[in-house]
Amino acid sequence: MTDDDAPIVLTDMVAEFRGPTWTLSNFAEHPMDIDGHRYATVEHYFQAMKAVSAEDHDCIRDAATPDEAKRLGREVDLVPDWRDRRTDVMRRALAAKFTPDSEAGRFLLATGEATLIEGNDWGDQLWGVSDGRGRNLLGVLLMERRGALRARE
């Protein structure tokens, strides 16, 4: 077989984080310890980190569901420079969730070379892709984390 005859290998893609890939969602329950506190989901940590006041932070951390954490996170007074900080906050949460020995970490590694995209229908074009557009920052950070896990193997 010449190179011209070689089959075209399409790169796999995960287009949304639900159903079989729910583990990749920030709303999936994977308790993690950060700075001596337990957060039920990435969303709990991410939203809590928006709060200026410790009281608001704790309230979001203890929210009953990730939806509730997200709702509360949109109501609090934001820490200064939240826009500059948010990527590192998300990166930190993902590192705490996707550890080498965790189920979540193994799941992420098992996605291999697939392109990870947080396709969504709630209009988020920063962390994901909605209506065919978006920066897909969550997908990018997940792929970054996967690379870090792979480098440790």
Ligand X SMILES: Nc1c(N[C@@H]2O[C@H](COP(=O)(O)O)[C@@H](O)[C@H]2O)[nH]c(=O)[nH]c1=O
- Beta carbons of 64 and 118 less than 8 angstroms apart: no
Rounded to the nearest whole angstrom, what is the least distance from the CB of residue 137 to ligand X in the complex? 9
Say whether residue 43 binds ligand X (CB under 6 A): yes
Rounded to the nearest whole angstrom, what is the least distance from the CB of residue 65 to ligand X in the complex? 10
Tokens for 37, please give them: 């506190």
Say whether residue 46 binds ligand X (CB under 6 A): yes
Long-range CB contact pairs, 57-62, < 8 A, 24+: 61/37
Per CB under 6 A, the segment of 5-13, 107-115, 120-128, 141-149 that binds ligand X is 120-128
Mutual orientation of helices 82-97 and 137-152 as an angle, nearest 10°? 40
Contact with ligand X (CB under 6 A): which of 64, 122, 133, 153?
A: 122
> Which residues 78-97 are close enough to bind ligand X by CB under 6 A?
none
Residues 121, 59: Cα–Cα separation, whole Å: 27
Tokens for 126, please give them: 């920063």
Per CB under 6 A, the segment of 1-9, 53-61, 67-75, 101-109 that binds ligand X is 67-75
Alpha carbon of residue 35 to chain centroid? 19
Say whether residue 70 binds ligand X (CB under 6 A): yes
Residue 51: beta bridge partners? 78
Binding site for ligand X (CB under 6 A): 25-27, 43, 46, 70, 73-74, 118, 122, 124, 127, 138
